[in-house]
A and B are shown apart, each in its own frame.
Chain A
Amino acid sequence: MSKFKSLVTAVAAVGFMASTAAHAGATLDAVKKKGFVQCGVSTGLPGFSNPDEKGNWVGIDVDVCKGIAAAVLGDASKVKYVPLNAKERFTALQSGEVDVLSRNTTWTLTRDASLGLNFAGVTYYDGQGFLVSKDLGVSSAKELDGAAVCIQAGTTTELNLADYFRQNGMKYQPVVFDTSDQTVKGFEAGRCDVLTSDQSQLYALRLKLSNPSKAVILPEVISKEPLGPVVRQGDDEWFNIVKWSLFAQINAEEMGVTSANVDKMKSSNNPNIQRLLGTAGEMGKLLGLSNDWAYNIIKQVGNYGEMFERNVGQGSALKIQRGLNALWTQGGIQYAPPLR
């Protein structure tokens, strides 16, 4: 995997050198001209980007793209989704095949610094966790000494696991599977005591158990996986738009503006809300957008909390707690710079 990554890095770096100059400032104009945002999504990740049986794309990553379309074009439906594999996602962005990559991509230094990319924020703070059967009677990962652990093949997960057990002086026995379905089957058949994966994925995997309520997800998170939308480096105007359309959603939640009350909020006399919704100030103009850009996002897509609950939270089958992804005012770390 690491070999492949360095290949992708090299390829992307070449592409970056070739394409940066041509791109500067061009993405916004190009998007306005063609009338839709081209958005790179996954080929199917529960809660993040998924086709449903009607053929519509749903998920947090999808809603981020809809937000950008609402901000730029005033219509959240004007998105063209390009399903991308983990391996081709960066080149698709580099080569201009997509305008924004919203495909639960972890923000790391290597990617930020060497791929010619900019991470425009964090839509979801993820991290590797553990799923155990309730019958095991374990309440903390620290009690897992000697456990058999089911892992989905993928080096970072395996490495994080090895690091964690070594740090805590514990032993474990890895049981490696190829796909998530096999991992779940292995866990269910009792081939391992613990299943490890990114927390957001654990909730989806738990659903696949024949009796989901018999398994619990342990509180420990052993790695940092901040996921967010990515844009090409060198087009700061577009970078700002993507960044601030996410910040607008987070700020809206903080101010209590939702898709349901946004019209009423327009007449609010809170200056923060007025600036957000474009009734005061010229915030949209500074971004190169119309002044009702944030109004459109919130009206059509909703604020961050709505987006979270609808796709991965209590309104979805996954039922993930807000946890780290709660607002900073509510014990989480979701924090957006002020809109002023």
Chain B
Amino acid sequence: MTTFTPKPDLPPPPNTVGVVGWVRANLFNSVPNIIMTFVGLYVIWLAAYWIIDWGILKADFVGDKASDCSREGACWVFIQAWFDRFIYGFFPDEEIWRVNVVFVLAGILLAALIIEAVPHKGKIALFSLIGFPIIAFFLLHGGWFGLETVETEKWGGLMLTLVLAVVGIVASFPIGIAFALGRRSNMPIIRSISIVYIEFWRGVPLITVLFMASVMLPLFMTEGTDLNKLIRAMIGITLFQGAYMAEVVRGGLQAIPKGQYEAADALGLSYWQKMGLIILPQALKLMIPGIVNTFIALFKDTSLVLIIGLFDLLSIVQSALTNPDWPGFATEGYLFAGFVFWTFCFGMSRYSQRLEAKLNTSHR
């Protein structure tokens, strides 16, 4: 009796594995797909050809005035010459280091929060939320410790965009949580106030809010009260986004099974203990996509301040385009602004995915 000895497994045919296999299985597996593949490749080739030819091969990189460009390709000299304005707005040249310090500090804090090996996350987060804004304000505005005051009228460019976005994000989050809890409260007055607040701000376009803040509000204030335009815009954006945030948070609260609430009640926890220890930690985790969605929308919405004459990144690019010494650089300018916005939004979205993966404790 011979024992059965199985032959060793043969490797799969070489044309079904690896890159070749994947390409055959996905791109060239049927006639329509083959056609689609070639059309797609052609489109990619066209776009890539234009980008490389216009953006790199024929582009001009060196110089300091418009006439240094041949205009056959992109003129990155334009971006280079205006770079300081695009990033810092009208911030005086000799004070720009202050903005850079804030940028670097923000970068370090962000890295410390993202990199998992760094200890004391809680303390760093607390410092980023409370200490950092104060330091940043003192550095940017000045007027203390011998720093020269830089009026907010001189703030602009990417710096202003970031200031508006960060203030909006940091301030609208607690407002959103407060009003979401308020809307689900059993106390009729608090509930009504929350509903009125949320429905009012959600029912008004952000442009209207900004117009009200910059055009109408000064007329209602007594003579001489000069509430800064930037602060007015910040308050408008924050209240507006707070309402959206409240609805996102409410969505998360409603997704928590009733049993969690009842279990917390059965343990004898107070309302704030129940929310702080049981409900919100679970709900916030569920809400990450929604929250980040709102933050990204907020970041992009900040460019609406151009209609009230604040020079954020987009509007300073636009005003550079109107300069008679630099005619016809619209493509370069808008590409630059778009690229910067995309970088930040993409960064936020990647971070949120990491956060979701990290906090994922689901029963899947």
* Chain A interface residues toward B at CB < 8 A: 8, 11, 14-15, 18-19, 22-23, 43-47, 50-55, 80-85, 87-88, 91-92, 94-97, 180-181, 184, 204, 207-210, 316-318
What separation, in Å, do the CA atoms of A151 and B93 have in the docked complex? 39
B330 beta carbon closer than 8 Å to chain A: yes
Q: Would you call B327 and A204 a contact (CB within 8 A)?
A: yes
A45-B322 contact, Cβ under 8 Å, with A91-B215, A208-B328: yes
A43-B325 contact, Cβ under 8 Å, with A55-B90, A81-B153: no
Cβ-defined partner of A316 (8 Å) among B71, B216, B309, B324: B324
A208-B320 contact, Cβ under 8 Å, with A81-B153, A85-B307, A97-B226: no
Q: Would you call B327 and A317 a contact (CB within 8 A)?
A: yes
Q: Would you call B215 and A43 a contact (CB within 8 A)?
A: no
Q: How far is the CB of A114 from the nearest CB of chain B, in Å? A: 16
Q: Would you call B224 and A94 a contact (CB within 8 A)?
A: no
Q: With CB as the reference atom, state the residue of chain A lying closest to B83.
A: A53
B183 beta carbon closer than 8 Å to chain A: no
A87-B211 contact, Cβ under 8 Å, with A15-B219, A44-B318, A52-B323: yes
8 CB < 8 A contacts A-B? A15-B219, A44-B319, A51-B311, A80-B153, A88-B309, A94-B219, A180-B322, A181-B321
Q: How far is the CB of A86 from the nearest CB of chain B, in Å? A: 10
Cβ-defined partner of A50 (8 Å) among B92, B153, B310, B324: B324
Q: Would you call A46 and B322 a contact (CB within 8 A)?
A: yes
Cβ-defined partner of A84 (8 Å) among B90, B224, B309, B328: B309
Q: Would you call A83 and B309 a contact (CB within 8 A)?
A: yes
Q: Would you call B323 and A44 a contact (CB within 8 A)?
A: yes
The residues in B between 285 and 316 inclusive whose CB is less than 8 angstroms from any CB of A are: 306-311, 315-316
Taking A50-B322, A51-B90 as known contacts, 17 extra A-B pairs with beta carbons closer than 8 A to each other, sorted by chain A number, are A11-B216, A43-B306, A43-B318, A44-B323, A52-B323, A53-B320, A55-B85, A55-B89, A83-B310, A85-B307, A88-B214, A96-B223, A97-B218, A97-B229, A184-B328, A204-B324, A316-B324
Count class of interface residues, chain B: 35 or more
Q: How far is the CB of B68 from the nearest CB of chain A, in Å? A: 13
Q: How far is the CB of B309 from the nearest CB of chain A, in Å? A: 4
What separation, in Å, do the CA atoms of A44 and B310 have in the docked complex? 12
Chain B residues with Cβ below 8 Å from A96 are 218, 223-224, 226
What separation, in Å, do the CA atoms of A23 and B223 have in the docked complex? 9
Chain A residues with Cβ below 8 Å from B89 are 55
B28 beta carbon closer than 8 Å to chain A: no
B341 beta carbon closer than 8 Å to chain A: no
Cβ proximity bits B217-250 to A, threshold 8 Å, 1 near / 0 not: 0110101101001000000000000000000000
Q: Would you call B223 and A22 a contact (CB within 8 A)?
A: yes
Chain B residues with Cβ below 8 Å from A82 are 153, 309
